[in-house]
Amino acid sequence: MAGHSHWAQIKRKKAAQDAKRGRLFTKIVREIMVAARLGGGDPEGNPRLRAAIAAAKAVNMPKENIERAIRKGLGLEEGTQYEEAVFEGYGPGGVAVYIESLTDNRRRTVAELRHIFSKCGGNLAEPGAVSWIFEKRGLIVIPRDGLSEDQVLEVALEAGAEDVRSYEGEFEIITAPEDFEEVKRQLEEAGLRPASAQVTLVPKTTVRLEDEKTAQQMLRLMEMLEDHDDVQKVYANFDIPEELMERLSGG
């Protein structure tokens, strides 16, 4: 999935830009509110809230913003209430797309997502259409920074990782969800600092896009979905050849 990995790198750069524009703050605040409402305001006993607070701190969100979001989620302050909604669809070339959202108006969100899919040569699908293609896994990304594959493999596998994927600028370490925290801890203790680490959805199969127009449409779809205020996370199983991905992304 070299092309998909390259997209992940682009996303991380884009996330830094989004943080400056405040868009990422909005998405994280919503996640904190929902996590607090569903699991309580104590991050020690609420893993989802703990992860949301960690994401907030990673983009330097002020402490008072975090605390206010928790209070709103608990109903201690007035604020919009958001509900979780999952949407599934197909992108150009039959790529599976799975979307996690937080919305205060499901009907509006459906209409807007349908419009985005239509503009980019895809379509929304029925619930369950593509969810089976994805499985929950821990994903830890380590910058290459002069590290050899053998070094990373030895530490990761010893820590209990399932797989290590080597790319030009980074390593992706895959874990079972329940082993994620322990593997991450051992990597950090060994001096391997993650560029990102999260429990996420990983596709079991991929769709290779070699036609330039189709690949371009797919990347546009991903960008438009991720820019939508109600969308928290987008997962897709496309694989674009590295050279084509570089060309399309201006790299």
Q: Hey, CA dihedral for 119, 123, 127, 129, is it positive or negative? A: negative
Q: What is the CATH number that goes with domain 83-132+205-248?
A: 3.30.70.980
DSSP three-state, residue 206 = coil
pTM equals 0.84
pLDDT, tens digit, 9 for 90 and up, residues 165-175: 887 788 999 99
Give the per-residue pLDDT at 24: 84
Please give the mean pLDDT across all residues of the chain: 90
Sketch the domain layout of the chain as residue ranges: 2-73, 83-132+205-248, 133-203
Residues 225-247 have pLDDT tens digits of: 998 999 999 999 998 888 888 88
Q: For tokens 């108006």, what's the residue? A: 105
Question: Would you state the structure tokens that stand for residue 218, as one six-digit string?
Answer: 């797919």
Return the H-helix or E-strand segment holding 84: strand 83-90
CATH no. of 133-203: 3.30.70.980
Among 163, 230, 238, 149, residue whose Cα is nearest residue 192: 149
Tokens of 212: 């330039």
- Report percent pLDDT > 90 for the chain: 69
CATH says 2-73 is which class?
mainly alpha
pLDDT tens for each residue of 189-218:
999 999 888 888 989 999 999 999 999 999
Residues 133-192 have pLDDT tens digits of 999 999 999 998 889 999 999 999 999 999 998 877 889 999 999 999 999 999 999 999
